[in-house]
Chains A and B, each alone.
Chain A
């Protein structure tokens, strides 16, 4: 197929040349075509029955209470606030991310939830009974300063559970934020789209004072010829 056809197929999809399978066999073939009602059509590609079962289980109950989620969002926004690069974490569906992934990883549920409760208690102790959601901005900053650096555990060993939780919270927030639509944009990633890779831009090469060696470059694909079918001589020299 040519490039135009390739791109069209990417957009609208195509089903393989080889689908006309006929078997008088005991097994299911693809003759019936994909089952569009199946949970496989959930928007992220083929899932096995075991994966469908896991997703169903995870979605069948709620893990975090409203109070817990409110506290998580306060911390998530403190870790990833709105700035010129992008919105605050709470505007990137990070609540759905926390809810799904904590349920999907039972091994971290207890320490994560317990760590959050410990931080809530710390907040009440330090700030006249206020929970995380009730803190003034200056108070929240004070809390973040006290809990966001693992090396502070040496000075304040009693705060280790809070600081460890904040490390997990920071990991989950950064991962959830920068894998969201908005976060990917904030980071600047510009791939995942059809293109013809033709090397490092010249201005970038110049900036780093590196260049392609002519001998190496001569071996590389010239995209002008990419759609001409390959032919070789008997020695393996490409002719087209």
Chain B
């Protein structure tokens, strides 16, 4: 096909089509602005029957759904990309804890497969500087973001319950689904261990919110992106509805953003990108540039946007660009519940994820680590796929049966243990530290000729001790549930913490602040040094909470997009 050079100047050019980019495109286009989205991957609509993976059986894949380097979470997972993308390398400094960087190249980005756990931050999450002084306060508070959290709840839909918890605020929730059987056991066991349990908060429609989107039909496959739009994915819930409402959004697909182009006054004029079809560089002009490419990609684009006016990269006068990178902590255990051997079989697929969870309950002033975590649970009668037999030998061992075997007895054992496995995972808050960062590796370019990132990240004692607390807590709960744990107490130096990046909640590389010498953008996510460039992803986060980042990305993107509209009206940018 013929590739034409874009000639039009858009009101806004947005890089990235995930949660932040999708929200910004929706808000700006519905205000009548012309919007271009530059996305590094192909078009994707979960409703397309040819490309959808939802409702496909394991045996429809020759791998029976097994994960590969090209599709790490399995053949049906709706993230095109992964930890290692051919031709797009990155590196980590030796003698650090390393970094794993997950990228999904497609319309909607990682929102097509994410866990839909949609937790707004609480008041304390914005003022950790006051509470323990180990990281800085945000320049904004919960009261600034609350109206946008509320609007996001109503626009996108999230089930949950108002519990009046001080740091896990109430919202506008749809009713949650009833707990599954193993979740009822968890409720009992966790409470006996002093850990409270509440209905989970997931952006899945248990109830209708409008006529464009369907209601959940409980197939448990949100990671494949929902064909009836009953889960939150950026394409199906933000970009398509905005287009349907008349919003002018042009999609530049398979276009890999390289840098922001600035003029002699240092103002941004365009985004430079490589079209993957012909491998040529193009520029697309915009009055305003919104970067929503994900925390590390946005930092990379800014660092690669060097000019006479911005010699250290765009917005990097402070030198903190790339710094304060932090991911959620992750530590998990698995075991089995003997009471569920030989269980009655029924359809308990439920929604795509947990029906109950435990928000952080502890008081860090009385503990030897600074920040909290929440508990996620899983288990039950999944659709069998590749690897479904993994627990059989561990269970044989725990039951004192001969490990291994064959024939009718082994088949009986397989039926007996099906649905008896249970697991818990902690997702916690890591400190935002100056010494954890990504930077440009000037010795390496990707296949598009763009200099790559090198990571430098080490967990601190606070995260290590938090992980030890997770293991103690999980093993106590398992015991109270009558279960038997497969996971031994981790003995590695990081107490079983997963490698930084593995939880895919990376944030903080271009943090906001009132002081331009210590931050990259202001509290409206506007670059201190370039007033027509805005950041609408988690790069602007000062400090992640013991939550997931997506709901805050959405709320802040909406808030910033409203501000862009106002500033354009006032002719300030």
Q: Which residues of A contact B213 (CB under 8 A)?
A: 1
Q: Is B57 a contact of A27 with CB atoms below 8 Å?
A: no
Q: Is B240 an interface residue (CB 8 A)?
A: yes
Q: Is B251 a contact of A23 with CB atoms below 8 Å?
A: yes
Q: Is A208 a contact of B65 with CB atoms below 8 Å?
A: no
Q: Is A194 an interface residue (CB 8 A)?
A: yes
Q: Is B174 a contact of A79 with CB atoms below 8 Å?
A: no
Q: Is B52 a contact of A28 with CB atoms below 8 Å?
A: no
Q: Is A104 a contact of B63 with CB atoms below 8 Å?
A: yes
Q: Is A212 a contact of B179 with CB atoms below 8 Å?
A: yes
Q: Is A200 a contact of B411 with CB atoms below 8 Å?
A: no
Query: Closest Cβ of chain A: how far from B341's Cβ, in Å?
Result: 12
Q: Is B49 a contact of A12 with CB atoms below 8 Å?
A: yes
Among B154, B219, B385, contact of A232 (Cβ-Cβ < 8 Å): B154
Q: Is A184 a contact of B384 with CB atoms below 8 Å?
A: yes
Q: Which residues of A contact B192 (CB under 8 A)?
A: none
Query: Closest Cβ of chain B: how far from A93's Cβ, in Å?
Result: 8
Q: Is B184 an interface residue (CB 8 A)?
A: yes
Q: Which residues of B contact A195 (CB under 8 A)?
A: 217-218, 347, 349
Per the bound structure, the CA–CA distance linking A183 and B211 in Å amounts to 39
Within residues 346 to 366 of chain B, which ones have a CB less than 8 A from any CB in chain A? 346-351
Among A20, A78, A200, A220, contact of B175 (Cβ-Cβ < 8 Å): A220
Q: Is B207 a contact of A184 with CB atoms below 8 Å?
A: no
Among B36, B52, B176, B406, contact of A219 (Cβ-Cβ < 8 Å): B176
Q: Which residues of B contact A187 (CB under 8 A)?
A: 384, 414-415, 418
Among A1, A176, A226, contact of B206 (Cβ-Cβ < 8 Å): A226
Among residues of A, the one whose C-beta sits closest to the C-beta of B188 is A210
Among A2, A15, A28, A40, contact of B253 (Cβ-Cβ < 8 Å): A28
Query: Closest Cβ of chain B: how far from A221's Cβ, in Å?
Result: 4
Given A16-B48, A16-B240, A170-B404, A9-B66 contact (CB < 8 Å) = no
Number of interface residues, chain B, beta carbon within 8 A: 129
Q: Is A36 an interface residue (CB 8 A)?
A: yes
Q: Is B211 a contact of A191 with CB atoms below 8 Å?
A: no
Q: Is A230 a contact of B6 with CB atoms below 8 Å?
A: no
Given A6-B228, A9-B47, A184-B383 contact (CB < 8 Å) = yes
- Interface 1/0 per residue, A92-126 and B, CB below 8 Å: 01001100110010000000000000000000000
Q: Is A214 an interface residue (CB 8 A)?
A: no
Query: Closest Cβ of chain A: how far from B165's Cβ, in Å?
Result: 13
Among A1, A23, A41, A216, contact of B50 (Cβ-Cβ < 8 Å): A41
Q: Is B399 an interface residue (CB 8 A)?
A: no
Q: Is A175 a contact of B388 with CB atoms below 8 Å?
A: yes
Contacts A175-B387, A197-B347, A200-B348 known; 8 new A-B pairs at CB < 8 A: A13-B50, A21-B251, A26-B4, A150-B403, A187-B384, A199-B178, A225-B207, A230-B208
Name B's A-contacting residues (CB within 8 A): 1, 3-8, 36, 42-45, 47-53, 55-66, 68, 70-71, 75-76, 78, 80, 86, 150, 154, 157, 159, 161-162, 170-181, 184-185, 188, 199, 206-215, 217-220, 224, 227-228, 230, 235-236, 239-244, 249-255, 275, 277, 282, 284, 339, 344-351, 381-389, 392, 402-408, 410-411, 414-415, 418
Q: When A and B form their complex, which 10 residue pairs have the shortest distance between CB atoms, in order from nearest?
A: A13-B49, A18-B240, A45-B53, A199-B178, A46-B51, A174-B389, A179-B64, A194-B217, A221-B175, A18-B243
Name A's B-contacting residues (CB within 8 A): 1-3, 5-7, 9-10, 12-30, 34, 36, 40-41, 43-46, 48, 50-51, 54-55, 58, 78-81, 83, 85, 93, 96-97, 100-101, 104, 144, 148-151, 166-167, 170-171, 174-176, 178-181, 183-184, 186-201, 203-205, 207-208, 210, 212, 216-217, 219-222, 225-230, 232, 236-238
